[in-house]
Amino acid sequence: MYTVLAGGVGAARFLRGLTQVVPAEEIVAIVNVGDDLTRLGLRICPDLDSITYWLAGVVHPEQQWGRAQESHVVAGELERFGHEPWFTLGDRDLATHLHRSLRLSQGASLSTVTAEVTRAFGLDLRLLPATDDPVETRITTADGRDLHFQEYWVRERGRPEVRGVRLQGAATARPAPGVVEAIVDADVVLVAPSNPVVSIGTILEVPGIREALATTPAPVVGVSPIVGGEVVRGMAHRLLPAVGAEVSARGVASHYREWLDGWVLDERDAEQASEVRSLGLSCAVTDTMMDEVTVAADLARTCLHLAGVAS
Ligand code: FO1
Q: Return per-residue pLDDT of the chain as tens, 311 residues.
A: 999 999 999 999 999 999 999 999 999 999 999 999 999 999 999 999 999 999 999 999 999 999 999 999 999 999 999 998 899 999 999 999 999 999 999 999 999 999 999 999 999 999 999 999 999 999 999 999 999 999 999 999 999 999 999 999 999 999 999 999 999 999 999 999 999 999 999 999 999 999 999 999 999 999 999 998 878 777 888 889 888 899 999 999 999 999 999 999 999 999 999 999 999 999 999 999 999 999 999 999 999 999 999 77
Count of CB atoms situated within 10 Å of the CB of 105? 10
Q: 45 with 37: CB under 8 angstroms?
A: no
For 32, 37, 112, 176, the CA distances from 131, given in Å and listed in that order, are 8, 14, 12, 4
3-state secondary structure of 97: helix
- The identity of residue 153, as a single letter, is W
Helix (H), strand (E), coil (C) string for 259-309 = CCCEEEEEHHHHHHHHHHHHCCCEEEEECCCCCCHHHHHHHHHHHHHHHCC
With a 6 Å cutoff on the Cβ, whether 89 touches ligand 1 is: yes
Distance of CA 14 to the CA centre of its chain: 11
- Which of the listed residues 87, 94, 151, 200 should we mutate to test ligand 1's pocket, taking the one with most ligand atoms within 8 A of CB? 87
Report DSSP letters for 135-172, one per residue. Answer: -EEEEEETTS-EEEHHIIIIISTT-SPEEEEEEETGGG
Q: What pLDDT, on a 0 to 100 scale, did the predictor assign at position 164?
A: 93
Phi, psi at residue 300, to the nearest 5°?
Answer: -60, -40
- Exposure string for 272-295, b = 16+ CB within 10 A, e = fewer: bbebbeeeebbbbbbbbebeeeeb
Q: 8 with 127: CB under 8 angstroms?
A: no
The alpha carbon of 301 and the centre of ligand 1 are apart by a number of angstroms equal to 30
Q: What pLDDT, on a 0 to 100 scale, did the predictor assign at position 127?
A: 98
Distance CA(155)–CA(15), nearest Å, equals: 29
Distance of CA 300 to the CA centre of its chain: 16
For 16, 145, 161, the CA distances from 156, given in Å and listed in that order, are 31, 12, 11
Q: 269 with 248: CB under 8 angstroms?
A: yes
Distance CA(256)–CA(116), nearest Å, equals: 33
Return all residues near 172 (Cβ < 8 A) that are at least 6 apart: 133
Q: What pLDDT, on a 0 to 100 scale, did the predictor assign at position 285?
A: 97
Q: What pLDDT, on a 0 to 100 scale, did the predictor assign at position 85?
A: 85
Q: What pLDDT, on a 0 to 100 scale, did the predictor assign at position 311?
A: 74
Q: What pLDDT, on a 0 to 100 scale, did the predictor assign at position 237?
A: 86
3-state secondary structure of 83: coil
Q: Is it true that domain 2-57+122-133+171-307 has CATH number 3.40.50.10680? A: yes
The alpha carbon of 187 and the centre of ligand 1 are apart by a number of angstroms equal to 33
Would you tell me the crossing angle of helices 91-105 and 110-120 to the nearest 10 degrees?
Answer: 140
The alpha carbon of 13 and the centre of ligand 1 are apart by a number of angstroms equal to 17
Largest CA distance in the chain: 60
Atom of ligand 1 nearest to the CA of 9: 26
